Structure 1
């Protein structure tokens, strides 16, 4: 179903992929947009075991796209250092494939919202809960259930380890 990486020596382990998803603060969600055009949008997110959590408004291109076609991918660039003398970059990235769904159950939505908020404001639980309460009804929580993930790093980084 998902193609194996051609340059398998540069493949990151499952744990390395998870570590990158845990620490990254943003990535690019790619969906099937209108008229078959791809639509890729930068997103903040939280990684929760086998799923990614996103939030969005109740209307808009992104939400319409995931409701129309739940198959998406999400890419995180962990590192991208330009090395001019070598005509290359030292990169590390992860791409995730899966299906999305909207959390409709209020308890599930609250829990996912808390996970997302805690990632970006870990030291202010009272403030997080107040913000969630304020935005809860006008916010949609999208969950991406991960079916496949693949990480890759430049051969130069691989050779350093």
Structure 2
């Protein structure tokens, strides 16, 4: 169903791919947009170990696309160091494929938005977090991506710098 990576030696382990998702602060969600044009939108997100959550307004192109087709991909670029003298970049990225949905249940929505808030403002007190959520609750839409497939890849030059397994 999902293609195998052509350059398998550059494949990140699942552990490394998860680390990229946990480190990242933004990614690009790709959906099937209007008139069959791809629609890719940058978003902040949180990965909770099994799902990815996003937030946004309750209407717009992104939600229309989600309602039309649940299939999506999400890409996080962890590193992109341009190396002009080599005409390349030393990169590390992860692409997740899955199904997206709008979270309708208020309890589930609250848990997801708390995860997002804690990721981006971990020093905030519970009261400050509650106040911010209460203030933004009505116009807030939370979306969930259930992961079906995930791959990560990094430049050969970065792979060579990794410690050898078992040494």
Task: State the TM-score, normalized to the length of structure 1.
Answer: 0.98
Please name the residue that 1:141 is paired with.
142
Q: How does 1:17-96 map to 2 (within 5 A)?
A: 17-96=17-96
Please name the residue that 1:131 is paired with.
132
Structure 2: any 5+ residue segments left out of the alignment? Answer: 163-167
Secondary structure class of the residue paired with 1:137: coil
Hey, what's the Cα distance between the residues in 1 that align with 2:29 and 2:85?
32
The RMSD of aligned alpha carbons is 0.7
Query: How many positions carry a matched residue from both structures?
Result: 161
Q: Alpha-carbon deviation of 1:85? A: 1.3
Hey, what's the Cα distance between the residues in 2 that align with 1:24 and 1:155?
21
Please name the residue that 1:152 is paired with.
153
Bigger proportion of residues as strand: 1
Secondary structure class of the residue paired with 2:2: coil
CA contact (8 A) 1:56 1:63 kept: no
Secondary structure class of the residue paired with 1:35: helix
Alpha-carbon displacement from aligned partner over 1:54-90 (angstroms, at most 9, x marks no partner): 0010110011111111100000000000111111100
Structure 1: any 5+ residue segments left out of the alignment? Answer: none
Hey, what's the Cα distance between the residues in 1 that align with 2:34 and 2:87?
37
Task: State the TM-score, normalized to the length of structure 2.
Answer: 0.94
